[in-house]
Amino acid sequence: MSSPSSEIFRRGVQIQKRTLIAWSAALVLLALSVVGAWPSMEKSGALEDFASGVSPEMAAAFGIDQISSASGYLKGNLYAVLLPLLLGLMAVTATAALTGGDEEAGRLELLLALPVARRTVFLVRFLCVAFGLAVTSVLVWLSVYGSVVSFDMDVSGGGVAAVTLTVGLLAVLHAGVAYAVVGFGLGRGPALGVAAGVLVVGYLLHAIAPMSDSLEPLSNVSPWEWALGGDPLVNGVPWGGVAAGGPPPPPPGGGGGRCRVYARAYPGEASSSAEK
């Protein structure tokens, strides 16, 4: 006989099944279309001129500063903006719907009548959202990795796994923001507004703040910076400030903006290199 918590989890997954299928299919198709366009874009030579009319700062903000390389192409067209934004919106809307939305509509009354604490009901509903995000992230990772291998792109499988993991965790964090808003007694609307606002403001801080020396410290408070600031597609997931497999060598010469990005990702290595 199943426990009340497992029954709540099963019902939560069942409720979001159609939405989960739709989101997963859309994001997998997006990933396949992005990677599938790589061979023709590489052969045409259009990528070299794509960012030529954009300032280096703006190119870095949109993740297209190295778009002519395979890893830069994946980053600029999928992992820098589109996938984190869409996966974050999926997390926010699902969390708000399964918690505040169902409570406002009266659909939680039967679950709240079960012999289980109210906080357990809402916590299990949040775990349902995290489960859906995990399933979608795995499907996207399999799609990207399979396409990368098929097209013989110069991108490591570990890097694809690392950046997909960090993007998925970024989405879970924003789901947690929506969950916290509902936990304070606010409804679905405020949860959507606050969590979506945190998602957008976080991106703006991550993308725009590094353009100015005075605003650059603000990027450190952005969840996007925590997840993507160290370029996990190339460097892997940073554990304790050092990417798995070790940090890459610092960029030669001056490097300007690239040196600032490297310094933010690996402050110890950057300072020691400067001393040498």
Q: DSSP letters along 109-164, please?
A: HHHHTSSS-HHHHHHHHHHHHHHHHHHHHHHHHHHHHHHHHHTT-S--HHHHHHHH
One-letter amino acid at 71 equals S
How far apart CA 170 and CA 124 sit, in angstroms, is: 19
CB 254 within 8 A of CB 184: no
CB 268 within 8 A of CB 247: no
pLDDT, residue 259, reads 42
pLDDT, residue 110, reads 74
Rounded to two decimals, what is the model's pTM? 0.80
pLDDT, residue 113, reads 74
pLDDT, residue 255, reads 41
pLDDT, residue 187, reads 84
Residue of 216, 215, 217, 172 lying closest to 195 (CA atoms): 172
Q: What are the tokens at 186? A: 């606010």
pLDDT, residue 61, reads 65
Q: Walk along the chain (276 residues) in steps of 10 and give the mean pLDDT of each run.
A: 77 90 96 91 68 64 74 89 95 90 74 78 91 97 95 91 96 95 87 95 88 83 91 78 45 42 43 44
Residue 60, C-beta contacts closer than 8 angstroms, at least 6 positions apart: 210, 257, 261
- Alpha helices by DSSP H, 16-99: 17-36, 38-44, 46-50, 56-61, 70-74, 82-96
How far apart CA 204 and CA 223 sit, in angstroms, is: 11
How far apart CA 104 and CA 141 sit, in angstroms, is: 35
pLDDT, residue 270, reads 44
> In b/e form, how buried is each residue of 27-63, taking b as 16+ CB within 10 angstroms?
bbebbeebbeebeeebeeeebeeebeeeeeeebbbeb
